[in-house]
Amino acid sequence: MSIVTYHRATTVEELNGILKLQEQNLREVLSVDDKSKEGFVTLKHTFDMLKLMNDKCAHCIAKYDDKVVGYALSMLQDFKKDIPLLVPMFEEIDKALLENNTSLNYIAMGQICVDKSQRGKGVFRGLYNFMKDELSKEYDAIITEVDVLNTRSSQAHKAVGFEILKNYSSNNQDWELIIWKWK
């Protein structure tokens, strides 16, 4: 019997597995009903950018029968200006931390996604727990953003332990900037 296992991405095949799963769950390819019920991802990464990010801090993946069925992308602050859609997120993170007079060594989670066949089975929580186990010695917290229309994702993040840092608007979208403090 196969079980879901958690790893850090190390191979070209695994990176391509991430991109394939991402492609299937992009906001623009899903129906309105699927977006509402299942959630969606907003950003489409190129292989080169995904690999650059992975080379700096390997992404966390879930595998089932040797297939990538989930991922949580690690995004170091080094990349804060490299993906135009995410520049506002990093600017808002900097503002929020400054407003709260907080200095954190954080990692940004660039995107999380679970294959439809594995949803509701704990893979989302498993990815985040694995990410915490792997990265909490080096980082104080993980910060990400969720489109406010993506209520499934927002609720799932809060169930794991994320809290709202602030709400903001960018690129004609409204976002929740959320944080999960590890220390």
Q: What is the pTM of this model?
A: 0.90
User: What count of residues does the chain have?
Assistant: 183
pLDDT digits (tens, 9 = 90+) for 47-79: 999 999 999 999 999 999 999 999 999 999 888
Q: What angle do CA 53, 30, 62 make, to 5 degrees?
A: 40
Report the domain count for the chain. Answer: 1
Scanning the structure block, which residue is given the tokens 């509402």?
36
136: its two tokens: 């909490």
At residue 39, the pLDDT reads: 75
Range(s) of the domain holding residue 113? 5-181
Q: How confident is the model at residue 33 (pLDDT cuts 50, 70, 90)?
A: confident
Angle, nearest 10°, between helix axes 12-24 and 47-56?
A: 120
In Å, the largest CA–CA distance within the chain is: 51
CATH of the domain at 128: 3.40.630.30
